[in-house]
Amino acid sequence: MPALNILFLLVLAGYFLGAVSHLLGVVTGKAGLRRAGWLLTVGGFVCHTLDLAALLVLEGGMAFLSGEFYFSLLAWSLLLICLFLWWRLRLGMLGLLASPLALFLFLSSQAVTAARMPLPKALGGLFFGLHIGALFLAISLLAMACGAGVAYLYLERKIKTKEKLGGFAKALPALSTCDTVNRWAVAAGFPLYTLGLLSGFIWAKLTWNRIFSYDPKEITAICIWMLFAFLFHQRLVLGWQGRKPARMAIWLFGLTLVSMLVINFYMPTHHSFARYIDGASDLPVWPQP
């Protein structure tokens, strides 16, 4: 539809130009370019919100039954978390991470062929609201923790080797600020991931009459949860700071990307986009993170 096509182009333009402006602002040290990057990114986020809302209005509940909708929603969730952290901490460098990643996820959503499946109406709201919503917010928080971890390790190495901080390194926030972002993201992300995982198992029991089926996706999700629980405990209870939580957040987010991009597409799983695209399964299989 013409309106949706226009919104799609506006989202792409906002995220792409926002990422470029952020990068140029960091490289040149010009605050005006960084401010322009934020404005463009926010503009892309607004258009993205309208795009998702338009899909819901035009397609109703069928919008929830398409693989591309979930990747688009993940990109939107990432920007939502990024904008919230920017509002709370005033970290301009978050845009350098969020804009390119949101652009990548939004473009990825267009590469996933729609897969429409019958869904019991009584379960639709519960599944989407708890399972998908909680997991996507948790993954977005992990992305922020990962970005803060990368910045922390990079800046720490520069300081330890007594290299001159210029260009990109000079624009990075203080080590303590990077650590704060990591702590906030882990503290909020783990409960959300737990909620998303539990609601997924409950939905599986109600839909397939089994909680766990030793599916690669389910096994990976449990492994991620266990590592996330360990990081949450070490971070909040034992007071982990610095390199250890930074490195673990990077590994955790990398594992979630493997789960979404490798398992969902290239491994035999109930949650595979590819299986449904090829019509290989008649189960009410759902794409999930």
List, for residues 10-50, the tens digit of each pLDDT value.
888 888 888 888 778 777 777 788 788 888 888 888 988 88
Look at 77 and 167; give whichever has higher pLDDT. Answer: 77
Q: Does 200 score more than 90 pLDDT?
A: no
CATH number of 124-289: 1.20.120
Q: Does 276 score more than 50 pLDDT?
A: no
Instruction: Give the 3-state secondary structure of residue 184.
Output: helix
Q: Does 53 score more than 60 pLDDT?
A: yes
Residue 286, pLDDT score: 40
Q: Please check whether residue 15 is in contact with residue 98, taking contact to mean a CB–CB distance below 8 angstroms.
A: no
Q: Please check whether residue 130 is in contact with residue 72, taking contact to mean a CB–CB distance below 8 angstroms.
A: no
Q: Distance between CA 132 and CA 234 in Å, rounded?
A: 27
Q: Output DSSP code: residue 172.
A: S
For all residues of the chain together, what is the average pLDDT? Answer: 75
- Rounded to whole angstroms, the maximal C-alpha distance in the chain is 61
Within 13 A of 231's CA, how many CA atoms are on the CB side?
Answer: 32
Look at 208 and 227; give whichever has higher pLDDT. Answer: 227
Q: Distance between CA 277 and CA 26 in Å, rounded?
A: 42
Among 95, 186, 100, CA closest to 138: 186
Q: What DSSP letter does each residue of 228-245 carry, written as one string? A: HHHHHHHHHTS---THHH
Residue with tokens 């080590």: 175
Look at 118 and 90; give whichever has higher pLDDT. Answer: 90
Band of residue 176 on the pLDDT scale cut at 50, 70, 90: confident
Write b or e for each residue in 200-227: b if 16 or more Cβ atoms lie within 10 A of its Cβ, otherwise e: bbbbbeebeeeeeeebbbbebbeebbee
What's the pTM? 0.72
Residue 229, pLDDT score: 94
Q: Does 228 score more than 90 pLDDT?
A: yes
Residue 3, pLDDT score: 62
Q: Distance between CA 214 and CA 200 in Å, rounded?
A: 14
Look at 106 and 241; give whichever has higher pLDDT. Answer: 241
